[in-house]
Amino acid sequence: MKPSGYSLDATFAALADPTRRAILARLATGEATVSELAEPFAMTQPAISKHLKVLERAGLITRGREAQRRPRKLEPRPLAEATDWIERYRKIWEANYQRLDALLQEMKSTQRKAVDELVNAAKPKSKNRKRK
C-alpha cells in the first residue's frame, strides 16, 4: 500500500534546493518580481524562472494580478502541511523515546535495589563487628 501524498512529494522536492529555499526566504518578507528575485543570484533569469516554475507547480508561490510586474508571493499552506507531516512522526518518535527512557530508568533502579540487597545480605552486621 503506497500512500498518495502527491503534494507532499512536490513540496519536499521543491524544498530540496538551496536556490529555491532562498527564493522562499526572500518571499517570506514580501512579494517580489522575477528580476528582483534573480538579483542576489549569479544566475540567468531563465534559470531563476525554472526554479520559480517548480515552486509554482508545488503550490508554494503564486503570481500577483498586476499585469506588468507579475510579482510572486509565498503561499504558506503547503509549508504548513510539510511541517505537520514531519512533526506528527517526530512527536510519535519522541513519545516512544520518552517511554523507553522511563523504562530504562525503572530497570536501573530495580537493578540497583537488587544489588544493594545482595550486598547487604552478604555483609556481616556492623554491630557484630564492633563487639569483637
Residues that bind a copy of itself in the complex, under the rule CB under 8 A = 1-5, 8-13, 15-19, 21-22, 24-25, 27-30, 40-42, 74, 76, 79-80, 82-83, 85-87, 89-90, 92-94, 96
**Closer to a copy of itself at the Cβ: 98 or 109?**
98
CB of 112 to a copy of itself, least distance (A): 24
Q: Which is nearer to a copy of itself, 8 or 34 (CB)?
A: 8
62, containing H or E segment:
strand 61-63
Q: How far is the CB of 67 from a copy of itself (least distance, A)?
A: 22
Question: What is the residue whose three cell numbers read 547487604?
Answer: 120
User: Shortest approach of a copy of itself to residue 108 CB, angstroms?
Assistant: 19
Tell the smallest beta-carbon distance from residue 34 to a copy of itself (Å). 18
Kindly give the residue spans of alpha helices, DSSP state H, lying in the chain: 6-15, 18-28, 34-38, 45-57, 76-122, 126-131
Q: Looking at beta carbons only, is 46 or 124 nearer to a copy of itself?
A: 46
Residue nearer to a copy of itself on the CB measure, 88 or 108: 88
Return all residues near 63 (Cβ < 8 A) that are at least 6 apart. 56, 70, 71, 72, 73
Tell which residue, 94, 114, 85, has the closest CA to residue 8. 85
CA 31/CA 64 separation, integer angstroms: 8
